[in-house]
Amino acid sequence: MRLTVSMAATCAAWALAASGAAAGTLDVLVLDRDGKPTPDAVVIVTPSGKGQPKTPLLNSAVVNQEKQQFVPTVTVVAVGARVRFINSDPWNHHVRVGAAGAAVGASDGQSAVLEGKQDGKPASAAVFTMDKPGAMGAALLGCFIHSRMGGAIYVAESPWTVKTNAEGVAVLEDVPEGAASIKVWHAAQLVEKTPLQVNVLAAPAKATFQLDVAPRRRS
């Protein structure tokens, strides 16, 4: 029996669907209240189908304190990941990892003082374990010594969790075909918005999510 190209493609699609391997790519554009692209927003996609992305979430990460900034500003990790904070500045820094919305100085966060880096010596560092997933476990980063410093660690509850790039776009690959919900987390968005419902297909798809806030741009 000879199959035409279209019949062969259809059979291949049926085989992928039967094996549960059918997946697509989803590009999510996050806009702020004013319609401008929002970098460093965390996009969380929860598909109805089963699967795993080829690129797993980070089980470890490094955040630098450099030029009185946390670099990167936002880090996405897996549950139980160990995050190493390094002070690359010549002056002392404090690092506090606390739950979003917690009062400054709350006792339930992790904190450490990191001495300034001296020439010829290793930079001081501290390692914290991130074990609370999702928006409730999202950690805000701060420094008691330099109040302008800020950042965030997001512990993903879905393996399809990616932060947006400088153009406000998050690219999520290997998302199982079918219904899926999209949530977006940003430290400035205090009230969680209703998830966006989409249908993922084999062909690349795009979606847009708009926040209710206009986050301050990092200088």
Neighbours of 71 (CB within 10 A): 14
Q: pTM for the complete prediction?
A: 0.84
Q: How far apart are CA 206 and CA 69, in angstroms?
A: 32
Multiple choice CATH, 22-54+158-219, 3.30.230.10, 3.40.50.300, 2.60.40.10, 3.40.50.980: 2.60.40.10
Q: Tell the CATH superfamily of the 58-155 domain.
A: Cupredoxins -  blue copper proteins (2.60.40.420)
Query: 145: helix, coil or strand?
Result: coil
Instruction: Give yes or no on whether 22-54+158-219 and 58-155 have one common fold.
Output: yes
pLDDT tens column, 142-170: 988 888 899 999 999 999 999 999 999 99
Residue 111, pLDDT > 80, answer yes
Residue 20, pLDDT > 80, answer no
Locus of tokens 């991130």:
130
Q: Residue ranges of the domains in the chain?
A: 22-54+158-219, 58-155
Q: Smallest Cα–Cα separation from 73: which of 104, 100, 39, 44? A: 39
pLDDT tens column, 176-195: 999 999 999 999 998 999 99
Q: Smallest Cα–Cα separation from 85: which of 56, 62, 108? A: 62
Q: How far apart are CA 153 and CA 196, in angstroms?
A: 23
pLDDT at 219 (0 to 100)? 59
Residue 120, pLDDT > 80, answer yes
pLDDT class of 18 with cuts at 50, 70, 90: very low
In sequence order, the 6+-apart residues with CB closer than 8 A to the CB of 10 are: none
Query: 12: helix, coil or strand?
Result: helix
